[in-house]
Amino acid sequence: MTNQIAAEFPAPLGYRMPAEWEPQRATWLAWPHNRSDWPGKFEPIPYVYAEIVRHLARAARVELIVNDQQAETRTRAILTHANVLPALETRIGFHQWPTNRGWLRDSGPIFVKHTNGKVALTNWTFNAWAKYKNWQLDNQLPDNIANTIGCTRFDAPPNARGPMVLEGGSIDVNGRGLLLTSEECLLSPIQQRNPGMTREQIESTLGGMLGVKKVLWLERGIVGDDTHGHVDDIARFVAPRTVLAASEADPSDDNHSILKENLKRLKMMTDTSGKALEVISLPMPAPVIFKGQRVPASYANFYISNGTVLVPTFDDPNDLPALNTIQHVLPKHRVIPIYCGDLIWGLGAIHCMTQQEPAEG
């Protein structure tokens, strides 16, 4: 199958980015292989992925990207050991495309859906968070996926350096015109995503590409987040006007003042009709530190798929309160804890590794 490349903005044509809780056809994942992402701690990571695939394949189809045939053989062996295969064989598809690393939330496409039910994807530049030199393979994923599923591809408009840079983890939407992001990630010139682009230009592009009517700007991300302010660690929509916001109760913790300011902003924000948001605090785990480095452990990095919510946990006393909070706001969903004490050493968790494809219709 081949994709059609469109020159227009998708939103004026009737497309929008659906909320994560809306029906999904599939979750896209890339199997982990870059050992440098988990230095000294890579061995358990494939089995964490296997556990995540086991749960996700029951909610929707899993489209799994592996580097080559040898990698697929190894992956199938691990999934068999973890009791995922052969039971869920028909729910998992394999795609042999080489990647640099496996954080599909950021390197994969951002899907949009037309009012007639047709699904398309938006293609943005991925430059490995302006941090690594090897990102070229990952930047090809939206084109590979569009060709595979045969959908229209909308390319982001250029800035001074080329097509606009955007990572999926830097935004969160309610599917009704609201988008959450952070000034640290999208506006700071230090991060070198889109130098020279103003707030107004960024908002206009998000509107044209994703159907966003109002951008809600938080200030900063949590300590240890090497993506510099990704919103999926700090605040997430769980309903059109309801936001779960990470909150740190300990005033001596470096995250306390950061999250307090974000919470203050959220409580002053409104939806597209001027109604105040319902803001619910989500606790943070105690600092997770490995080899002297604090990592971005947060319960906000959960992922929703077709009545299922996978929530990162850290063997922390706040695991249960966080799970209960998420269950309270999503009472019809099956909330599943996934231990991420090893996974988070890669500086990402469940939401970072997943990318949802909406269901058509």
Tens of each residue's pLDDT in the chain, 361 residues: 556 776 689 999 999 999 999 999 999 999 999 999 999 999 999 999 999 999 999 999 999 999 999 999 999 999 999 999 999 999 999 999 999 999 999 999 999 999 999 999 999 999 988 888 899 999 999 999 999 999 999 999 876 566 789 999 999 999 999 999 999 999 977 667 888 889 999 999 999 999 999 999 999 999 999 899 999 999 999 999 999 999 999 999 999 999 999 999 999 999 999 999 999 999 999 999 999 999 999 999 999 999 999 999 999 999 999 999 999 999 999 999 999 999 999 999 999 999 999 999 9
Q: Which pLDDT belongs to residue 162?
A: 66
User: How is residue 354 annotated by DSSP?
Assistant: -
Q: Which amino acid is at 345?
A: W
Q: Which pLDDT belongs to residue 188?
A: 79
Whole-angstrom Cα Rg for the chain: 19
Number of Cβ within a 10 Å radius of residue 37:
18
Question: CA-to-CA distance for 347 and 351, rounded, in angstroms?
Answer: 12
Domain housing 193? 5-358
CATH code of the domain covering residue 322: 3.75.10.10
Strand pairing category for 24-30 and 355-358: antiparallel
Q: Is 352 marked active-site?
A: yes
Which residue in 151, 185, 340, 352 is the catalytic one?
A: 352
The answer to whether 179 and 212 are in contact (CB under 8 A) is yes
Question: CA-to-CA distance for 354 and 26, rounded, in angstroms?
Answer: 10
Question: CA-to-CA distance for 341 and 289, rounded, in angstroms?
Answer: 10
Give the number of domains in the chain. 1
The answer to whether 197 and 164 are in contact (CB under 8 A) is yes
CA 182 to centroid of chain Cα atoms: 14
Q: Which pLDDT belongs to residue 8?
A: 83
Q: Which pLDDT belongs to residue 255?
A: 98
Q: Which pLDDT belongs to residue 191?
A: 64
